Amino acid sequence: MPFLISGPPGTGKTKTIIETILQLLSQPSLSGWDIHILACAPSPSAADTIALRLIKHLKPGEMFRLNDITRTFAEVPDALMLYSHSTETFFSLPPWEKLMMAKVVVTDCMSSFELIKARCTNRDISPLQDLYRPIFPDQKGSILKRWHWTHLFIDEAAQAREPESLIPLLVVAPESLSNDSIMPKLILAGDSNQLGPNIVSVVARRYGLDISLFERLLKRDVYADHPNARQNIWKHFEGRWYRPAFVNLIRNYRSHKGILMMPSAMFYNSTLLDEARNTTSLTSWKYLTNPKIPVLFVPCADEEMWIPDTAGWYNPSEIKITVTLIQHLLDKENTPETQVQAAEVAVITPFREQVIRTRKALRKQGLGAVSVGTVENYQGGERRVTILNCVRSTARFLDWDKQKGRGIVNQRQRFNVAITRAKDLLIIIGNPSILQVLLN
């Protein structure tokens, strides 16, 4: 069965994967066969993150970073160039012997197709038992007891499109399901309550392509009905149950407990525990009504504006409020116990036009160091202070947002990502009558 690592924001999904890989590699070889791991992520940058954390423990030759042939050298971190193979102008696969010797191969899901084209899958390697027999003489002509690829890890699996996830699965899939052979292990890490696959087509969304393999598996009875499932954690079950094929990460190492309280209750059945340290520096900010909860809601009922013939929405009033709040926050007199730097503040909004106009307004005030972007830009990121601009203030456009998968209202995953980026202070600007839809 696939093993699922369900990790809410700030609970260390990637760190858990890295530690698991290192512990597997530290074990003695099983059944005379070495462990070979394929570690994937839906994006090249996420795959780089895995590789960058592994280079502290693995030498070149022990780990290989497989890059797509269309990726430029400038896109790859310098530290990973020693772990990559390239010609003079483009990335490529290393010689077959070196690839087979690597303990870990890291790549993005789409680029793992290079291994299929190069016939480096378990299905292609298994007929070569005659070549392996001199290396592993204890096999004595018996069937292959262990496949070359023993483990497949997919990080940020909830963001990967399901067909995309199947590509690395084809690499490790065994040729047969013999009871005598040890099956490769599949481990998926993600969070179905954060942003899923980015599917623009309305037709594709209607037929379910916006649901990841991770989310679909997590809803299956064998996972969802188990007493250890997050939605069942407060229920009483009698009798003995099978060992679960999943784990729920519950310790949050990012946010102040006052910030964590809302997403924990709304999305994670009140299971998150605050383990973050040094997150109380802004509880003395003069605008806070309750110093124990560094969350501020600023109501704004002014209507949003639309640029004709585009999907560009923006709310001028929210932009003005945002600039004023940031100026007040950066004034040391208003935060007596600490100094907030512009680079520590992020403005998050669901609409691109709001991003552009907010950046211009901030630059006019000499605040260009403030980070501004859409919700998608901050998945996996964090900031000391985040300001969420909801933009939408007119109820008649909510159905359009829901159909197109845009905005914050009716988009629980996007709202969850937006409110879980902050470490010390979270500010939400929006129309309260519109945002009530989120709580229904």
Position 143 scores a pLDDT of: 46
CA distance 228 to 234: 9
Residues 29-76: tens digit of each pLDDT: 654 568 999 999 999 999 999 999 999 999 999 999 999 988 999 999
Residue 33 per-residue DSSP state: B
Position 141 scores a pLDDT of: 46
Residue 334 per-residue DSSP state: G
CA angle 151-155-161, nearest 5°?
A: 105
Q: Which residues contact 371 (CB under 8 A, 6 or more apart)?
A: 343, 345, 346, 347, 383
CA distance 282 to 286: 9
| Mean confidence (pLDDT) of the chain | 89
Residue 305 pLDDT more than 60? yes
Position 158 scores a pLDDT of: 95
Residues 263-302: tens digit of each pLDDT: 999 999 999 999 999 999 999 998 898 989 999 999 999 9
Residues 129-186: tens digit of each pLDDT: 556 555 554 544 444 456 889 999 999 999 999 999 999 999 999 876 655 567 899 9
Report all structural domains of the chain as residue ranges with CATH numbers, in order of start: 3-232 (3.40.50.300), 252-439 (3.40.50.300)
Other C-beta atoms closer than 10 Å to the C-beta of 412 total 14
- In terms of Cβ atoms closer than 10 Å to its own Cβ (0-12, 13-18, 19+), residue 438 is middle
Percentage of the chain beyond pLDDT 70 is 92
Residues 366-385: tens digit of each pLDDT: 999 999 999 988 988 899 99
Residue in this structure with the two tokens 């290079």, named with its chain if needed: 114
Q: 39 near 17, Cβ under 8 Å?
A: yes
SS3 at position 152: strand
Q: In this predicted structure, which of 309-318, 383-392, 417-426 has the lowest mean pLDDT?
A: 309-318
CA distance 405 to 410: 8
Position 268 scores a pLDDT of: 95
257: phi > 0 → left, psi -120 to 50 → alpha, else beta; which? alpha
Residue in this structure with the two tokens 């260009």, named with its chain if needed: 368
Q: 393 near 387, Cβ under 8 Å?
A: no
Position 112 scores a pLDDT of: 95
